[in-house]
Each structure stands twice: as structure tokens, then as C-alpha cells.
């Protein structure tokens, strides 16, 4: 078992999660273990002539390794049950690969990211420089900008926001990183195609009913199949005119 160095952060919101509140001791321990072992940035390696990549929020393990790391009270069956439950409620994904078991914490940013800001120390007992409190990037990625502005996830999230703004120029700007996360789920978990997501975004924001109901990528994902059926059934609607008159 590889030795882990450094530390990781853990947001208190984890303890409000129903999966934590209703989970077994093994499930709770597994949630923390998965967050702690997940990569803070993508890594690649070669194995038997093939190149593999473990992305941010993912890690390779095995049931036997998890059993050892969780310690007393953890059995293979309890771990299987906990993994199935956590996967069912979209805390993680869990699949076997050529090199082991690939686990991904789906809301890794939600539980792990912190802002790279440290309050200045004001007491005599706090003498170390603030930079000592900033973790090495090899141990912990403290930035919350998971998606670059050029990534397909961010671009699709931004496209929805732009279309919403066309209908309502005063719509408040959302957290586009969070929006991009839901696009990521659509691409990876739901197996949607980027060009089709773009088409559905344009269609729903030009539809007389859906433009006022799809106001986030989370809602877009939830209603995607319904939107797709409706879009394929009906001719493309005309682009909606300006709906909000400026008050002078």
C-alpha cells in the first residue's frame, strides 16, 4: 500500500449529507477514505504498453485494500454494500478496470475545495507565517476552478447562461464552475454528446414554456430526456423576442 503524504481538507457540509446521517459506520468511514485518497489532479501512467489516466476526484484501489484501510469491523460484504449505496445515490462511481477498482467521488469539489485564503494571524501564539498553512500542491489542490474557460463543460454551461441572459438581461450570474460540474455529469455519467447538449440548450431557451423553467444546468440535466423528446417531436420554435422591457 502506497504511503500518502500531506493532508486534505474536508468541508463540514459532509455531515449534513443524508448519506452520512443515515449511513452505517463502514459507509461513513468509506466516504471520508474515498475523499482522502482521491487524486487532487489528473495523473497518468503506463501499464502493459497502455497509457492510463486517473482524473481529479478518482483513485485506483481494490476491495482488499479498502478492507485493510478501513480496519476493524469492515468486511468485504459491508464494503460492497456501502459502495453500492454510495453509487446509487451518486456520491461516487465504482467500476473494475484492468489495473484495479476505479472509484470517483462525484462531488469531490463540493467536499474538498477550499479558497486559497488564510486570515492573518493576530495573536502572539500564532507566530508561523501564513504560507506555512498553505498545502503543497502535490498534496492538495486548493483552487476551485476545476474547469478552464476553454473546456467543453464550461463552454456549455456558459452557453446556457448566455441564452438565459438573452431572455432576461438581469438574470443573476451563477457559479459557472458549479454549472460545469453538472455538464460533466451529463457527458460522463449520462453519456450525452456535447453537440446534442448544445442543441437542446438553444432549443429550450427559444421555447415559450421551457425558457422560464430551465434556468440551470442541474435542471437541464434533470429534464434532458423530456426536452429531447419534445425537441424532436416539434419543429424548431422561433427565437423568443425580448421579454423584459427596460423601465425608464
pLDDT in tens, 42-86: 887 666 677 778 888 899 999 999 999 999 999 999 999 999 999
Give the model's pLDDT for residue 41: 82
Q: Name residues whose C-beta falls within 8 Å of residue 151's C-beta, 6 or more positions apart in sequence.
A: 180
Q: Residue 29 is part of which domain span?
A: 12-111
Q: Is residue 44 a part of any domain in this protein?
A: yes
pLDDT in tens, 168-207: 999 999 999 999 999 999 999 999 999 999 999 999 999 9
Give the model's pLDDT for residue 71: 93
Point out the domain boundary residue: 79, 111, 143.
111
C-alpha cell at 191: 453519456
DSSP per-residue string spanning the chain = -PPP-S-----GGGGGSHHHHT--HHHHHHHHHHHHHS-SS-EEEEETTEEEEE-TTEEEE-HHHHHHHH-TT--HHHHHHHHHHHHHTTSEEEEEETTEEEEEETTHHHHH---S--PPP-STT--S-GGGGSPPTTT-------S-TTSHHHHHHHHHHHHHHHH-TTPPP--HHHHHHHHHHHHHTS---HHHHHHHHHHHTTSTTGGGT--SHHHHHHTHHHHHHHHHHSPPPPPP----PPP-
| CA distance linking residue 215 with residue 220, whole number of Å | 8
CATH number, position 52: 1.10.10.10
Point out the domain boundary residue: 86, 111, 136.
111
What total of structural domains would you count in the chain? 2
Q: Is residue 122 a part of any domain in this protein?
A: no
pTM: 0.47
Does 228 lie in the same domain as 165? Answer: yes
Q: Is residue 143 a part of any domain in this protein?
A: no
Amino acid at each position: 500500500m502506497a504511503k500518502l503524504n500531506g493532508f486534505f481538507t474536508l468541508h463540514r457540509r459532509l455531515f449534513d449529507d443524508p448519506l452520512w446521517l443515515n449511513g452505517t459506520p463502514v459507509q461513513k468511514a468509506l466516504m471520508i477514505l474515498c475523499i482522502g485518497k482521491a487524486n487532487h489532479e489528473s495523473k497518468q501512467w503506463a501499464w502493459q504498453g497502455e497509457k492510463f489516466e486517473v482524473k481529479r476526484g478518482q483513485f485506483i484501489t481494490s476491495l482488499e485494500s479498502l478492507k485493510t484501510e478501513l480496519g476493524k469491523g469492515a468486511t468485504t460484504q459491508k464494503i460492497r454494500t456501502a459502495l453500492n449505496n454510495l453509487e446509487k445515490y451518486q456520491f461516487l462511481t465504482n467500476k473494475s478496470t484492468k489495473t484495479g477498482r476505479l472509484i470517483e467521488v462525484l462531488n469531490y469539489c463540493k467536499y474538498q475545495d477550499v479558497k486559497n485564503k488564510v486570515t492573518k494571524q493576530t495573536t502572539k501564539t500564532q507566530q508561523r507565517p501564513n504560507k506555512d498553512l498553505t498545502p503543497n500542491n502535490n498534496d492538495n489542490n486548493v483552487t476551485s476552478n476545476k474547469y478552464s474557460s476553454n473546456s467543453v463543460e464550461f463552454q456549455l454551461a456558459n452557453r446556457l447562461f448566455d441564452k438565459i441572459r438573452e431572455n432576461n438581461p438581469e438574470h443573476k450570474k451563477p457559479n459557472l464552475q458549479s454549472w460545469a460540474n453538472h455538464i460533466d455529469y451529463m457527458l460522463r455519467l449520462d453519456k450525452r454528446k456535447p453537440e446534442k447538449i448544445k442543441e437542446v440548450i438553444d432549443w429550450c431557451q427559444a421555447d415559450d414554456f421551457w425558457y422560464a423553467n430551465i434556468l440551470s444546468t442541474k435542471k437541464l440535466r434533470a429534464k434532458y430526456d423530456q426536452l429531447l423528446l419534445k425537441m424532436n417531436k416539434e419543429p424548431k420554435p422561433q427565437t423568443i423576442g425580448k421579454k423584459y422591457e427596460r423601465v425608464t
